[in-house]
Structure 1
Amino acid sequence: MKWMTDITIKGPDQPIEYTDPLLLVGSCFTEHIGNRLQDLKFSVLQNPHGILFDPLSVCNSLVSYIDKKVYQPADLFFYNELWQSWSHHSRFSGMDQEQVLANINQSQHKAHIFLQSARWLVITLGSSFSYRLTENEKDVANCHRAPAQWFQKHMCTIDETVAALDNTLYRLFRFNPHLRVIFTVSPVRHLRDGIVENNRSKARLLEAVHHLVNKFNRLYYFPAYELVIDVLRDYRFYDIDLAHPNYQATEFVLEKFRQHYISAPAHQLMDQVQQVITARRHKAFQPGTNAHRQFLESFAGKTARLREQYPFLDLSEEADYFESGARRE
């Protein structure tokens, strides 16, 4: 009996290699992909502005990396005892204005340098709804729990989204001619907007993204949205809020990404690295036993061989853990 709808996923002709630097920006689902790749020791930089949902905020952030924008005190505002930025996620907010600016500009500098040599950019769009300050119509990436009357809520049209992304892509390809871009649409449902409005919002993102993918030969679409909404298609694959995909759904999507977007030779190395990572996180019930010491020594050797064979892998923390643990025991 057939339990799932089939889906055709066309990956790039030249898939992601282990040595390819990847910049990931966009919604919280971006970080599921980014965290997994980071755990497996890919060269990853994710969300230098923090989580972003709408295409205008994503485009503004990418342009700021190209321009190496330096944020000034006037770019911050004070609310709820914190200095905050309308362009950044609340993870950058803080009580010390100078420290907030320093963290933002450090992230800007890092993103500018990374983007120059990145081989892949993964953009995950979450919603067509954008927000603007009522007083000056400034685009807002995060409302920081400010009163609703401070903002105008706007659903970007397909043309607006295409224009913003098109202009940004043009600048990106001039800045880094080797860059390739993977678009995804987040399967997270924005139920606060309403079910009908959420579906309209996602539909606009899908139409805009496919228009661009058909226009450029360096753009690809990974169907994270369809894998959850159409293939899994069941509330048992959602978290308790019925909006966010749960662990099983996320793992399913990530496995499809690995299968179709990461090169076959990298798969074996990913499995070896995963073994080391899993061993590093293992909590021994009896750490003083000979068996545990042999376990540590075994993985110290495996880690050393991986580092020697693949010098681009940063396994220094794992190597220190196994080696120091074996010596203590």
Structure 2
Amino acid sequence: MLTGSCFTEHIGNALGEWKFDVLQNPNGILFDPKSVASSLISYVEAKVYGEGDLFYLNELWQSWQHHSIFSGVDKADVLRGINASQQRAHAFLQHADWLVITLGSAFSYRLVENGSAGGEWGQAGLAVANCHRAPAQSFQKHLMTIEEINSAFDSCLYQLFYFNPGLKVLFTISPVRHIRDGVVDNNRSKARLIEAVHHLVNKFDRLWYFPAYELVIDVLRDYRFYDVDMVHPNYPATQFVLEKFVQQCLDAGSRELLEEVKKIVIARKHKPFQPSTQAHRRFLQDQYQRAAALAERYPFLNLEEEMRYFSGE
């Protein structure tokens, strides 16, 4: 399972394409430690959301604990989507080998009193995972202390390890720059995340740290590795981080298997200029045989989509 900021999805999408069994961001993208820890506890507890957990804003029913991908015009549909995701997360996390947590910002947003008419948007002080374009005066922006971050995850991790005794956790800090906070506060935020995570890694023996932030900021350290917004790492930067991730987090046997899987995935994406030729039919047959042989050797690999494509179904 992978959860956290949008950088989580760069890693998660790649792992999914490489045929790892992956579930990512059951609440949608989350940025701050409070939201991430609370969502993980809700998966452990198999929390069921009700109508009281939703609010109406901008013609949509929304949840303060979820990304806007769960929002919708029909309240019942929104609840069904949220609770179905909760059930998947509960079942997946119970048997997961690894949990990858990517933290993006130490800033937490909390509802203020009188932030909405009659308190219909929720109780004052409630930490929100997404502001859903509500007026800025509806929130208090709070830079979490290192102690607050440690406390949130300390309780969360104990519950996770009780729920799944075999679970291992990998922390990363997102290299995405939160410039809207200002360059000074962005660095203060990242520094608190780094310090808190290293405290946790030193405390628990099933926690590790992968330096995605440092690889982009201190190894690449050049704006040509950022997108046009100067905030998000671009494709070469994310590929560099993924290469390091594979080198550091996969054993030799897995890296060797990964290269075979990549060949099949690339072949599946091949767009033929002349699909009716004998040469293309031989190509499909060869790739089908390669995929079938790999699936037989490694039954845990799900190559059904590729095999259907190569067989012409």
- Structure 2 counterpart of 1:66, from 41, 44, 53: 44
Is 1:208 the counterpart of 2:196 in the alignment?
yes
2:312 corresponds to which residue? 324
**Structure 2 runs not aligned, ≥5 long:** 114-123
Deviation at 1:97, TM superposition (A): 0.9
- Deviations 1:122-176, CA, capped at 9 Å, x for gaps: 0000000000111311110000111101111100000000110111111111111
2:249 corresponds to which residue? 261
**Structure 1 runs not aligned, ≥5 long:** 1-22
Superposition pairs of residues 1-329 of structure 1, within 5 angstroms: 23-135=1-113, 136-324=124-312
- Deviations 1:185-237, CA, capped at 9 Å, x for gaps: 00000000000000000000000000111111111000000000000000000
Q: Distance in 2 between matches of 1:81 and 1:291?
A: 54
Higher relative contact order (CA 8 A, sep 6+): 1
Q: Distance in 2 between matches of 1:264 and 1:166?
A: 33
Give the 4+ runs in structure 1 shifted more than 6 A: none
Q: Distance in 2 between matches of 1:294 and 1:321?
A: 13
1:299 is matched by which residue type in structure 2? Answer: Q
Deviation at 1:285, TM superposition (A): 1.0
1:53 is matched by which residue type in structure 2? Answer: F
Q: Distance in 2 between matches of 1:270 and 1:133?
A: 46
2:66 is matched by which residue type in structure 1? Answer: H
Percent identity over paired residues: 65
Q: Distance in 1 between matches of 2:45 and 2:202?
A: 27
Deviation at 1:79, TM superposition (A): 1.1
2:121 corresponds to which residue? none
- Deviations 1:216-269, CA, capped at 9 Å, x for gaps: 111100000000000000000000000100000000001101001111101111
Q: Distance in 1 between matches of 2:58 and 2:304?
A: 41
Q: Distance in 2 between matches of 1:306 and 1:144?
A: 45
Q: Distance in 2 between matches of 1:146 and 1:152?
A: 12
1:286 is matched by which residue type in structure 2? Answer: Q
Deviation at 1:290, TM superposition (A): 1.1
Deviation at 1:315, TM superposition (A): 0.7
- CA RMSD, 1 decimal: 0.7
- Deviations 1:87-131, CA, capped at 9 Å, x for gaps: 000111111111110010000001001111111110000000000
Q: How many residues align?
A: 303
Q: Distance in 2 between matches of 1:253 and 1:268?
A: 19
